[in-house]
Amino acid sequence: MFDTKELRENIERILKTDYGKTLAKAQTHEKYNALSKAIMGTIVDNWDETEKAYSTGKAAYYLSAEFLMGRALGNNLLNLGIYEEIKELLKKMDININDLEEIEEDAGLGNGGLGRLAACFMESCGTLNLPVRGYGIRYSHGLFKQSFKDGFQREEGDNWLKYGDPWSIRKEDEAVIVEFADEKVRAIPYDTPIIGYATRNINTLRLWKAESFKDFDFNLFNDQKYNEAVEDKNKAEDISRVLYPNDSTEEGKILRLKQQYFFVSASLKDIIRQYKKNHGIDFNKFPEFHAIQLNDTHPVVAIPELMRLLVDEENITWEIAWDITVKTFSYTNHTILAEALEQWWNGLYKKVLPRVYEIIEDIDRRFIMELLQKGYDSEKINSMAIIYKDMIRMAFLAIHGTHTTNGVAQLHTDILKFQELRDWYDIYPNRFQNKTNGITPRRWLALCNKELSQMITALLGTDKWINELTLLKELEKYLEDEQVLNKILEVKSEKKHQLAEYIKIHEGVEINPNSLFDIQIKRLHEYKRQLLNAFGILDLYFRLKENPEMDIVPRTFIFGAKAAPGYIRAKGIIKFINEIGTLIGNDPQVKDKIKVVFVQNYRVSYGERLFPAADISEQISTAGKEASGTGNMKFMLNGTPTLGTFDGANVEIVQEAGEENNFIFGARVEEIEEIKESYNPKEYYESNPRLKKVVDTLIDGTLSDGGTGMFEELYNSLLEGASWHKPDNYFIFRDFMDYVKTQEKVDRDYRDRIAWAKKCLMNIANAGKFSSDRTIQEYAREIWNIEPKKI
């Protein structure tokens, strides 16, 4: 039994020692910190015991530039099994737990699916008692905070640490030194507990902060050269200051390269230090105790860095070091987009990491010799070389320098094997695997949708589904039970009302909770086709104007997305959608039938409200472009049918829940492969008046881009192309009519409420496959070769 009396005493003590305040005078963020620190005090012994248990056998290490953790308090209380107890304790202290949850800043140390996947994986590893440690960067500022001004995206610093971080511990005595050609910095580890569900095990996420060896130069300061006095300090701290700093200049690129090397080098030195402590200096056994997963290409510099550490610092021969390296590392590929397969100009490596570059050159030279021995011609060798035309191809280095490369959905993996990376698959067929992504059901159902969770537990007679998600399959027996189906609709309505109230408070916009909530929330990128959604809305608007009596279900279109600060076209799409929202909102003839809301600063905690409230999930990327998606899984788990293309994990969602319970449209991968060379979007544009009318709003004055030229550039990219891609590169025109007709089917089907509830129930009941617990068990068994260690 949890000692609430002792916890209350600790909360009040922390308020006095940290803030010099009583409970009555403490501010909300101070109460939040005090509660969080008090909870930390209760788990430290288990955390220490877990670390000792994991140190004896094989462990895995997950290297990722992003960990989009979101808020910690609610999730940690849920996983500890004390959420309701703490809620009641706080109530007695005249504190509303929701106020404390709301005051917590999202740990926004990620950009999207890549970082959120890493967070779900960490939580599943803890829940499954698997010896896995995460490694990344403790950015002092996250990606950025987004707001809109006149419909344009505005960015400001995301100071998530402004109230401190009670959920991490600085480990000064475990700092390491990271060296670049022009500077040397200290890497300070901050450890965050990863609390598994219904277990005593506490795993660790270790994030590195870059610091200078001295705070400031006293002599320079004394000479009144104040800026120069802190120059080294600022330069060092810049490395861990911001996630994905703008790299449009060489200085920006150097900073990004330093970030990648910084956390990779620090992590490897940390792992080697622990290995020596526990197992001595015989590195032949290193892969028997360590499996290191490279989450995308950002940490791939770990391959030559481990070689450097083994060869230069541990005096191991090249051949043995390479064998150790390949046996230790595995690589997750997250994209098939050519522009996203990371490459580095070798001049930067020579400038910043000269010895690492020498090692990459040696790896490349040996690989080319291997290809020559296999009889490959020069053209094929050039297409596969790790260094070609002064560019280092990080994905190729990753495949060559690891024992396993995995895709993140079956379709994605097949495209890698048989199209994009076919030459590599031919050489290393046994290295390629699929690991379909998953999401943690704790945060994405048990925490964010308590109403649906309670209903599921009541229907199944157990809450074991929370960590055995396949048990949801038993819900199918209620498919003809109208009482259950009506209850599903009631829960959805309640979540929609909650979201409407939240949007009213945070966006200043009133939406109709009885309308159909059509939601597209994800990173803003052209291939995700928010623009197709926008064109569909405009088409509906124009049809309503032509026929005001047209019978439609009132619909609220909700967007959430951030565009990278340097991604001008993505920013143009945001402005376009906001202009559509203004046009519709100012038109009394249609404003009660359709509404468009673009929520600001979309993040994990906003997602926790949006996913449960959605009636339809927009997953409309060009087929073959989305590696997997995980937002699609979060919607599915919360009982939302997918409106989407046959892309990424949508394919598997439909396989599990049935195409009749979702809405699939658009060209499939095979068709796009057939038409991509001959595709002429002008034919669609000129032959379809509805399409032409919505596309022309980019240039005919219907909507204003404030004189920036953004809309005209968008228009030209669709019809004329751009320097780096063909016209309508993502086949929006090809899929437009299919999309709007499928939206009409959504409208028709939604009217039959019981039939719609069956679709919702079938999605919930068949979401079991998409638990990150399943994904992680596959990693542990088939890639890492590690076993659970329950304390």
Catalytic residues: 334, 522-523, 528, 630, 634
Tokens of 745: 């089917």
- Cα separation, 315 vs 132, in Å, equals 28
Q: What are phi and psi of 577, to 5 degrees?
A: -65, -40
The residues that bridge with 208 in the sheet, in sequence order, are: 137, 189
Residue 367's nearest CA partner among 401, 409, 405, 404 is 401
The residues that bridge with 524 in the sheet, in sequence order, are: none
List, in sequence order, every beta strand (DSSP E) within 274-386. 290-295, 329-332, 343-345
- 728 by Cβ neighbours in 10 Å (0-12 / 13-18 / 19+) ranks as buried
Query: Which CA distances in Å does 196 have to 48, 113, 563, 720, 768?
Result: 15, 21, 33, 52, 19
Q: How far separated are the first and last CA of the chain, in Å rounded?
A: 19
- Cα separation, 729 vs 714, in Å, equals 12
Query: Which CA distances in Å does 421 have to 50, 363, 621?
Result: 40, 19, 21
Phi-psi region of 645 (alpha: psi -120 to 50; beta: other; left: phi over 0): beta
Q: Chain-centre distance of CA 324, in angstroms?
A: 30
Tokens of 379: 């053209």
Q: Which residues contact 384 (CB under 8 A, 6 or more apart)?
A: 371, 376, 396, 423, 424
- Cα separation, 352 vs 360, in Å, equals 14
Q: What is the dihedral of CA 775, 776, 781, 782, to 10 degrees?
A: 50
- Cα separation, 243 vs 245, in Å, equals 6
- Cα separation, 523 vs 544, in Å, equals 30
List, in sequence order, the alpha helices (H) in 601-688.
604-613, 631-637, 650-657, 669-675, 681-687
Residue 219 identity: N
- Cα separation, 653 vs 611, in Å, equals 16
The alpha-carbon radius of gyration of the chain (Å, integer) is 27
The residue whose two tokens read 């997602």 is: 607
What is the total residue count of the chain?
791
- Cα separation, 353 vs 355, in Å, equals 6
Residue 615's nearest CA partner among 596, 584, 599, 638 is 638
Between strands 152-156 and 169-170, the pairing is unpaired
- Cα separation, 85 vs 2, in Å, equals 8
List, in sequence order, every beta strand (DSSP E) within 196-305. 202-211, 290-295
Q: HSE on the CB side for 142, CA within 13 Å? A: 27
- How many H helices and E strands in the chain? 34, 23
Determine contact, residues 673/745, Cβ cutoff 8 Å.
no
The residue whose two tokens read 């670390």 is: 51
List, in sequence order, the alpha helices (H) in 447-567.
450-460, 482-507, 530-546
Express the helix, strand and coil content of the chain in percent, nearest 5 each.
55, 15, 30
* Core vs surface per residue 69-84: b (16+ CB within 10 A) or e: bbbbbbbbbbbbebbe
Query: Which CA distances in Å does 470 have to 283, 475, 612, 766?
Result: 41, 10, 19, 8
Residue 339, Cβ neighbours under 10 Å: how many? 10
